[in-house]
Amino acid sequence: MVGFAEELKGINNFIKTKLNRVVYRSMLARAYNQRAGERRRVLNQREYHLLDFLISQTEPSDPFSSRPSKRIPLEELASSQYIQAAYRKVTPRTFRRELIRLEQSGFIKFAFDASIKDYIVELDFDAIGKY
């Protein structure tokens, strides 16, 4: 009976993870098309693509895990080929500023991981209810 309950829990985690990612992706499209002001969108094009990249990069390695998203060290994210290409025409300060803005807007979360002495970036699925 315990094995069956664990299996159901894993299946429930799998469904929630997949559903969260689908809904998060559609929320990104809404936020991108939504105006925050006369000249500004909630998400600019580069921020939208950064979050879309994070969705694909944070897919959990174990689909039945209770953790809905893989966490990425900030240094690993910053040095990825995608980020290097997307931010090549702007300063590193722009990348940091956009990450901070995404965190303040509730799209992502940061946490310091003392074991690797770096910040960890992960999607914040609570953003789904905000946008």
CATH number at residue 71: 1.10.10
Nearest to 52 by CA among 76, 21, 80, 78: 21
56: its two tokens = 């694909």
* pLDDT, tens digit (0-9, with 9 covering 90-100), for 81-125: 999 999 999 999 999 999 999 999 999 999 999 999 999 999 999
**C-beta separation of 70 from 59 below 8 A:** yes
Range of the domain at 42: 2-129
Question: Quick one: pLDDT at residue 64?
Answer: 82
Its pTM surpasses 0.75? yes
Total domain count, the chain = 1
Question: Quick one: pLDDT at residue 83?
Answer: 96
120: its two tokens = 């960890």
